[in-house]
Structure 1
Amino acid sequence: MVPTAGVPTMGVDRYWRCCVSPAFVDATPVVELAGVWIHEVAHLLRDHHARADRLPAADQRDRVRVNVAQDCEINDDLIADGLALPEGRMEPRLFGLATGGMFESYLSAIPATAPHAPDRGSGARGAPAPGEPAEGAGPGRIGSVEAEALRRQTARAMRAHQRTRGLLPAGWQRWAQELLEPTVDWRRALSGAVREAAAWAGGAVDYTYRRPSRRTPALGGRVVLPSLRRPLPRVAIVVDTSGSMGEDELAAALGEVTGVLLEVGVRGNRVAVPACDADVHAVSRVTSAEQVTLAGGGGTDMRVGIRAALAAAERPNIVVVLTDGYTPWPGETPSCRLIAALIGAGAPQPPGWVETVRVPPRA
């Protein structure tokens, strides 16, 4: 707690210090002070300052609007918990919004200027606020490691409270769930895995006599030196068309083919897409998902598709398998990067040497 006349009410900075106006404390009933205190702590627990830093520049410039959206994210949970808050509090219903949302989703409905909107400090909107202690000064400065430990400790306590009493507001339930069981952005994970594999394959070099080395003339033509070449990575995408893959799963798989093609970015190098269940039924050489030919619908054995991809005349450096996971896998690591995009919530885990990205089912 940092008493200061430089803030009108109460606000937190990104180092978990709370700047408080003594005049505001004197004028506010204790029950409302408790609600405001918990409100300020919620800004820190929900990492609002870091999330504000990730907003587009145009949104970051309108700091009051960001603060109002953040208050809406917090206050609906505090009101549902029966906490008293001062008049003029911001709630989603004031803007015709549903409760339980994230502040990022509220922003577009918040007016550019909002009356009586308090500034909650850099612990909320990210940028330093007037009246806060200097970055490296002041008591009680908390670092990022301790802050994360406090978040996790609070989330575990909330989860335990929910199990025993079942009284936790929905927003706090969601926050604790996401903190303790984070969900990975599978699109980013898949594209990142393919990018890394493509960079790894593209970094390989080999010698070629098709283009002699520039040092060859120095040897008087008696010896021809080879030059080094950097081959473009080749990709095979094995699509599971077995009976256990429903239409939604196949649609998701085909949608990811286009994403993978874009992420590889190998200047028009074509990608092989074998359609496979327990046998390989069709192999397409494609530049877009619409060119993929799907066939099959029987049992499942992705080993057949992987072997067919590796046996091709133009051997791939990267094999991406789009499957629901109900398949046997090769007994040993193939001589390429193997990435499994597992479609569906219950997809079994492949062997540990398979790079795995989980794709949730479509809503």
Structure 2
Amino acid sequence: MDRTKLLAARYRAATDRPYLASALYSLTIVPASDVPTMGVDRHWRCYVSPAFVAATPVPELAGVWIHEVAHLLRDHHGRAARLPASAQGDPARINLAQDCEINDDLLADGLALPAGRVVPGDYGLPRGRLFEEYIAGVPPRPHAHDCGSGAHGVARPWERPGAGTPGVGDVEAAALRRAAAEAIRAHQRARGTVPGGWSRWAATILEPVVDWRRVLAGAVREAVAWAAGAVDYTYRRPSRRTAALRGVVLPSLRRPLPRVAIVVDTSGSMGEDELAAALAEVTGVLREVGVRGNRVSVLACDADVRAVSRATSAADVTLAGGGGTDMRVGVAAALAVPERPQVVIVLTDGLTPWPAEPPAARLIAAVLGDAADPPAWIETVRVPVVRPGG
């Protein structure tokens, strides 16, 4: 491999974009004739095709260096792992969406990239979005360029994580991301010439936004654990101490699984995509903690309860409505059944009246957007909403 040419391209990339220099020089070069062009694994090893280096001019190689390190700086493999399960089965499609996110910024920054690179406009998609927003608009392409597990998270045959190829650990990777973000901020103050995508990325590192999925999952798990904390006696499984007492059967203690009701706001102001994402998060967490089947009911509600269903996943839910909004009706209906739930989760945009006082159940509100605040006594999780053109 023409290592001199490859290193000259990295030097050019680091010189022209000094805020990325530390990250670029943290990549370990691994020659690999079976890699299509260049790719990275999640431990910052950069696999390089000798034939690709020979055929590609230095300016374009410099652009590819920045493209590959961008996958790692933006934690694409970590973000891919947090995608819904339905979106994780096509690594090539994920990679294309990620390339749209990166190349959009690189080309706007005047970088040269090899032929065949993809941008959002290739699929009629808007510029300046994250790859999670692009996936739905990217068609499957089985032979797309593969940037490796450092992008989509799935290990490739040409990756060689064995001895002799040192890598970067998670703690060091986090430090490299923060150092790059701080360098971007310093570069902006000195020259003000950083592409918008990199500027927004730096802001998320230096001023992190709490991941609503983790917050919602934590709230649901904690509420279920709280509701299950009450124990009761049962004779279905006699106490182990029964054997010591002739003619006496002692009950054992049991910790029953709670019942959970999910009240879904289906009024006209609700966005279907965000609503489906929040509902999938809730039902997924409930499955993880063992609450499923007939222990979960979902009520579709606008100004009235339109549909009630038992749910084991978001796909089982029938949503109906589209009129006004009054979540008090949904909460009251959820608690009116003979086997009343111990936990009620409301998915809404917040533009609704709320009960005047706490109900006899744990109440969680997953509020889509920031239009309104529920009462202070309601445990609230904010779910960000991306509006068209926003």
TM-score interval (norm. to shorter) = 0.5 to 0.7
Flag the 1:17–1:220 CA change in 2: closer, same or farther, 3 A.
closer
Amino acid at match of 2:250: L
Partner of 2:135: 105
Matches within 5 A, 1:287-326: 317-318=342-343, 320=345, 324=350
Partners of 2:149 and 2:221 in 1: how far apart?
36
Show the counterpart of 1:74: 102
1:43 matches 2:71: yes
Q: TM-score, normalised by structure 2?
A: 0.57
The 1:136/1:109 distance shift into structure 2, 3 A limit, reads same
| Partners of 1:197 and 1:340 in 2: CA distance | 12
- The one-letter code of the counterpart of 2:269 is D
Indicate how the Cα distance of structure 1 residues 143 and 136 shifts in structure 2: closer, same or farther if over 3 A, else same: farther
2:118 corresponds in structure 1 to: 91
Q: CA deviation at 1:75?
A: 1.9
2:232–2:254 contact (8 Å) kept in structure 1: yes
Alpha-carbon displacement from aligned partner over 1:322-359 (angstroms, at most 9, x marks no partner): 7849999999x9997553444541655976x9743124
Partner in structure 1 of residue 269 of structure 2: 248
1:279 maps to which residue? none
Query: Is residue 212–residue 381 contact of structure 2 (8 Å, CA) maintained in 1?
Result: no
Question: Equivalent pairs: percent with the same residue?
Answer: 52
SS of 2:269's partner is helix
1:210, distance to aligned residue in structure 2 (A)? 9.9
Counterpart Cα distance in 2 of 1:251 and 1:58: 23
State how far apart, in whole Å, the 2-side matches of 1:360 and 1:159 are. Answer: 25
Separation in 2 of the partners of 1:49 and 1:210? 48
C-alpha deviation, 1:37, in angstroms: 1.9
Contact 1:121–1:129 (Cα < 8 Å) also in 2: no
**Residues in 1 aligned to 2:54 and 2:89: alpha-carbon distance in whole angstroms:** 37
CA distance in 2, matches of 1:91, 1:362: 23
In the TM superposition, residue 82 of structure 1 has moved relative to its aligned partner by 0.8
Counterpart for residue 127 of structure 1: 155
Amino acid at match of 1:356: T
Compute the displacement of 1:199 (Å).
Answer: 4.3
Aligned CA RMSD, in angstroms, stands at 5.8
Contact 1:239/1:321 (8 A) holds in 2: yes
Deviation of residue 148 (structure 1)?
1.8
Deviations 1:94-152 (A, max 9, x none): 743334452761784253235xx4x544433542453x55434235x211111122223
Paired position in structure 1 for 2:227? 201
- Whether the 8 Å CA contact 2:30–2:47 is kept in 1: the answer is yes
Q: Distance in 2 between matches of 1:81 and 1:182?
A: 26
Matching residue of 2:176: 150
Aligned partners of 2:259 and 2:295 also within 8 Å? yes
Classify 1:247/1:198 alpha carbon distance in 2 versus 1 (closer, same or farther; 3 Å): same
Farther off after superposition, 70-79 or 43-52: 43-52
Change beyond 3 A, Cα 1:261–1:181:
closer
Partner SS state of residue 142, structure 1? coil
The alignment covers a number of residue pairs equal to 338
The answer to whether the aligner puts 1:181 opposite 2:208 as a matched pair is yes
- What residue is the counterpart of 1:16 in the other structure? 44
1:59 corresponds to 2:112: no
Larger Rg: 1
1:137 to 134, 143, 164: 164
Equivalent position amino acid for 2:380 in 1? T
Give the TM-score normalised by structure 1.
0.60
Secondary structure of 2:381 counterpart: strand
**Cα distance in 2 between the residues matched to 1:206 and 1:111:** 56
- Structure 1 portions without partners, runs of 5+: 241-245, 276-281
Pick from 381, 385, 388: which aligns with 1:357? 381
| Secondary structure at 1:228 match in 2 | strand
Q: Secondary structure at the match of 1:248?
A: coil
Q: 1:329 to 1:41 in 2, by over 3 A?
A: same
Q: Output the CA distance in 2 between the equivalents of 1:272 and 1:13.
A: 41
Compared CA separation, residues 266 and 198, structure 1 to 2 (3 A):
farther
Deviation at 1:234, TM superposition (A): 4.8
- Counterparts of 1:140-289 in structure 2 under 5 Å? 141-158=167-184, 167-179=193-205, 180-182=207-209, 184-186=211-213, 189-190=215-216, 193-202=219-228, 204-207=230-233, 219=245, 221=247, 225-234=250-259, 248=269, 263=286, 265=291, 268=294
Per the TM alignment, residue 80 of structure 1 is displaced from its structure 2 partner at its CA by: 0.6
2:32 is paired with a residue whose SS is coil
CA distance in 2, matches of 1:129, 1:89: 23
Supply the AA of the counterpart residue of 1:59: D
Q: Which runs of 5+ in 2 are unaligned?
A: 1-26, 311-316
The residue number in structure 1 matching 2:20 is none
Query: Is 2:370 the counterpart of 1:345?
Result: yes
